[in-house]
Amino acid sequence: MRLQALAAALNLPPTDLPDVEAVGVTHNADWAGPGDVFVAIRGARFDGHTFIQKVKESGAVAVLGEGLPDGVASPLPYLCVPDARAALADVAAALEQHPSRALRVVGVTGTDGKTTTAWLTRHLLRAANLNTGLLSTVGYELPDGELRHFPAHFTTPEAPQVQSTLREMVTVGADAVVLEASSHALALDRVRGVDWDVAVWTHLSREHLDFHGTVENYFAEKRKLVERARSAVLNADDPWTAQLTGLAPREITYSAEGNRADWTAHDIQEGANGLSWRVTSPLGDFEVSLPMIGRFNVANALAGMAVAAQLGATAEQLVTGLASFRGVPGRMELLPGDGSVSGSAAPRVIVDFAHTPPSLEKALATLRTTTAGKLWVLIGSAGGPRDPGKRAPLGEVATRLADHAVFTEEDHRDTPLDTILREMERGAREGGRENFTSIPDRAEAIRWIVEKAKSGDTVLLAGKGPEDTLERADETLAWDEVAVARRALAEWQMAARR
């Protein structure tokens, strides 16, 4: 796109700009290359304007910003915009030719259930014969179903990565895409410029207040998704939903708790390996089964069914799709700890991302209802400045709800691991419990807990979920929790054959 056309797309007044081609956009000076537009954002620690000379040397052709600081001159054409982050997103969408307009885009937001609902929705749309992509916190998928990850330096996809991924989906023939919309993504305009067809609201609870300040601010950012969509699928069981009604031109509601809604669940049955219930919906009444653990997943499934039905799925396709869903990596992921070995079944091993006291309590309470034997849990706590106050409560929750807890590492970074483990132990002891073991090395801890578990027991490996790195002091290691757990299960099975 020529620089003049780009300025026009931003509704900037005509200016004397050089006739050069803009091929990309970034706000990170280290990523700037030939033909890029650099967006100078004033952040809490750095002002992007200090890197203008650097991006010029990298081949950038222009700079966007909210105004040059006093005494600073730009050696590149400078376009002044009212909001630099908004401009970053608008330029990214324009350079990629607004790919979301060629897709049916489903956005999912809320505190709990975003990832599972997004994956379920993607699966149900595929069952309805829509070539569907996914952009999730776990990774992204094109319609081919292969899970991909952004490069390591893209810890959170920014607007240019969101738009380029959507363009890639259009290029490979996607019909639809399901996109998780976090409060940060909405607040920082990372998903600005996305043309939303359906907004899904799962549930809201206190989270990320270090960033948003108040729960009201947190809610205000998330509600942007509903405000921008053509239709909304809303959780009738969430008290915040009352403030969302009337924002979207069309509304569909769902309830797993008996509240009045368009999609409701009745006669919910929980088993060791899945859920079943009866659905009442605009498509009629029908029975469904879902091979996932946790009653809360009924609500996630209802949301996904409501979206898929709106985009053309039949009741038969929904029934078949739910029954064939294989789960979400690292979200109550049940490992295939197969049947009998020497006459006894291997322990049930589950990998989950639960890493806060409320999420760990929810996971353990769910597993307790379907565990015949002992319930074991492995949990760590992150280091650095990331809420050290949750370490003792994690130890208390783990030892109160599980028969035995193992405390171990989880990205302790520059915090001494021993300090973290002692805090978790303190939480357990203040709760009057000693049913724990501390094993610093996470791989060793997983082997130990699986080895100790017996047939009929359940082992929850909590905290890491789908994350593919493990941070220790000044090193970052490759990590695959599921692979480590599978090796431990294989060792359990070999021992059982002896």
Higher pLDDT among residues 413 and 400, named by residue:
400
Is 245 annotated as contributing to ligand binding?
Answer: no
The CATH class that applies to domain 99-323 reads: alpha beta
Q: Return the pLDDT at 331.
A: 83
Task: Determine contact, residues 274/292, Cβ cutoff 8 Å.
Answer: yes
Annotated binding residue at 132? no
Least confidently predicted of 166-175, 288-297, 424-433:
288-297
Please tell me whether 253 is known to bind a ligand: no
At residue 417, does pLDDT exceed 60?
yes
Q: Are strands 458-462 and 375-379 parallel, antiparallel or unpaired?
A: parallel
Residue 468 marked as a ligand binder: no
The 3-class SS string of the chain reads: CEHHHHHHHCCCCCCCCCCCECCEEECCHHHCCCCEEEECCECCCCEHHHHHHHHHHHCCCEEEECCCCCCCCCCCCEEECCCHHHHHHHHHHHHCCCHHHHCEEEEEECCCCHHHHHHHHHHHHHHCCCCEEEECCCCEECCCCCEECCCCCCCCCCHHHHHHHHHHHHHCCCCEEEEECCHHHHHCCCCCCCCCCEEEECCCCCCCHHHHCCHHHHHHHHHHHHHHCCEEEEECCCHHHHHCCCCCCEEEEEECCCCCCCEEEEEEEEECCEEEEEEEECCEEEEEEECCCCCCHHHHHHHHHHHHHHCCCCHHHHHHHHHCCCCECCECEECCCCCEECCEECCEEEEECCCCHHHHHHHHHHHHCCCCCCEEEEECCCCCCCCHHHHHHHHHHHHHHCCEEEECCCCCECCCHHHHHHHHHHHHHHCCCCCEEECCCHHHHHHHHHHHCCCCCEEEEECCCCCCEEEECCEEEECCHHHHHHHHHHHHHHHHHC
Q: Which two tokens stand for residue 372?
A: 């015949």
CB 10 within 8 A of CB 91: yes
CB atoms inside a 10 Å sphere around CB 73: 8
Tokens of 429: 């002891």
Per-residue model confidence (pLDDT) at position 358: 85
Say which residue the tokens 């890029």 belong to: 36
User: Does 115 belong to an annotated binding site?
Assistant: yes
Nearest-angstrom CA–CA distance, 443 and 450: 11
Residue 263 CA to residue 285 CA, distance in Å, equals 10
Confidence of residue 228 (pLDDT cuts 50, 70, 90): very high
What pLDDT is attached to residue 260?
Answer: 96
Q: What is the pLDDT of residues 125-153, one digit of tens each?
A: 999 999 999 998 778 999 988 888 776 55
Domain ranges of the chain: 3-95, 99-323, 333-497
Give the pLDDT of residue 172.
96
pTM: 0.82
Q: What are phi and psi of 460, to 5 degrees?
A: -105, 120
In this predicted structure, the answer to whether residue 496 has a pLDDT above a threshold of 90 is no
Is 59 annotated as contributing to ligand binding? no
* pLDDT value at 342 more than 50: no
Tens-digit pLDDT profile for residues 428-457 = 999 999 999 999 999 999 999 999 999 999
What pLDDT was estimated at residue 382?
A: 82
Stretch among 163-167, 189-193, 266-270, 336-340 having the lowest mean pLDDT: 336-340
CATH number for 333-497 (one of 3.30.420.40, 3.20.19.10, 2.60.40.1930, 3.90.190.20): it is 3.90.190.20
Q: Which CATH number describes the domain made up of 3-95?
A: 3.40.1390.10
113 marked ligand binding residue: yes
Task: Say which residue, 52 or 205, is predicted with more confidence.
Answer: 52
The pLDDT value given to residue 334: 85
pLDDT at 336 over 90: no
Integer CA distances (angstroms), 313 to 43, 173, 230, 241, 355, in order:
45, 19, 18, 25, 35
What's the pLDDT tens digit per position in 80-101? 999 999 999 999 999 999 999 9
137 is in an annotated binding site: no
Q: Residue 339's pLDDT band (boundaries 50, 70, 90)?
A: very low
Q: Does 50 count as an annotated binding residue?
A: no
Q: Which among 429, 452, 430 has a CA at the least distance from the CA of 439?
A: 452
271 is in an annotated binding site: no
Q: What is the pLDDT of residue 341?
A: 33
Residue 112 marked as a ligand binder: yes
Residue 16 neighbours by CB under 8 Å, 6+ apart = none
pLDDT at 209 over 70: no
pLDDT number for residue 487: 95
Backbone angles phi and psi of 413, in degrees to 5: 50, -125
- The number of beta carbons lying within 10 Å of the beta carbon of residue 214 is 10
In the sheet that holds 404-407, the strands lie side by side as: 333-334, 348-352, 458-462, 375-379, 404-407, 436-438
